[in-house]
Amino acid sequence: MSRVILTCMALVALLLGPASVAAAGEASAGAVYTLTNTASNAVNVYDRSASGELTLSGTFPTGGIGGSLGSQGAVVTSANGHWLYAVDAGSNDIAAFRIANGDLVLTDRVSSGGTQPVSVTTSHDLVYVVNAA
């Protein structure tokens, strides 16, 4: 399972390269976002250095319940880099965060409209969710 998480983190790092998060001691090359998928689900934020090294910089609760169903699309940022959306498969909702100076600020939780959301994506000002059931 840890290999799957690292692979997903690497893919997210490639996609989020232009994101701007300050890293201590070395210029940041962006941020990597992952979910804990625990009962008290949270988003882990890692600073990514120019050399690719990841350093945990914060953990931000979603206010929802994670799930055991892994997904590569469970976390997404908006095209402008100002918003992050994360699935809470155990509570059937989506957490919306504002990205502010490397921190995440939970602004809302919205029903996924189904059961076990596994993937979320954005297009312009719309958010789309895929539910497993």
| 88 pLDDT higher than 70 | yes
Please provide the CATH number assigned to the domain covering 2-131: 2.130.10.10
What are the pLDDT digits (tens) for 26-73? 567 799 999 999 999 999 999 999 999 999 999 999 999 998 877 889
Q: Tell me what pLDDT residue 68 has.
A: 80
Domain extents in the chain: 2-131
Q: Tell me what pLDDT residue 72 has.
A: 84
Q: pTM to 2 decimals?
A: 0.78
Contacts of 107 (CB under 8 A, 6+ apart): 96, 97, 98
| 10 pLDDT higher than 50 | no
Q: 3-state SS string over 7-62?
A: HHHHHHHHHCCCCCCCCCCCCEEEEEEEECCCCCCEEEEEEEECCCCEEEEEEEEC
Q: Name the DSSP letter for residue 90.
A: T
The rounded percent of the chain whose pLDDT value lies above 70 is 79
Q: Tell me what pLDDT residue 29 has.
A: 77
Q: What is the mean pLDDT of the chain?
A: 84
C-alpha–C-alpha distance, residues 29 and 77, integer Å: 16
